[in-house]
Chain A
């Protein structure tokens, strides 16, 4: 199994809603990532978890709250989002995160989020 599975594929939410994005991998990877990608822009790193501990938070607003319940699962909890947060949210995993971040990343298909 070389897949990173993300659910849901599409999400529409209002600015007062609370929702969660989910990501799962069964490759035994110990590092998991959240990226945000806006149209015609490159993916931008949001968070990195290594061995279920948060290693990097790229100054992401607190309305995005990551959670890594175990080595296979990664969640992104969303609350009070703004319309400018509408984007494709990509989850990725790699065997390890060594601080150099040079490990090959496996990406999920993403969740296309629209905030109304």
Chain B
């Protein structure tokens, strides 16, 4: 069974540009989560999508946005890139529904570098 896949592996952008990161969840999982792992800041929750809707959002500015498609894959968009957006962006997926079923499985991440 395929795990969570993320693309691209690496992404280099310049300040002010937009970045699009993609995530395909494990087959059967309906929830997708995005996390940012920046140097010195640890892992921070960004967004949670379930059944196509945004369910929760972390403490990030509106230029971080995303969506979930009917096939449950997801896209994270970062507009007006700033140098401090450079980080590893991790996507996770899980079964939706109850807390009892929620184990998040992670992809290998997209390393975004903003120059």
A binds B: no
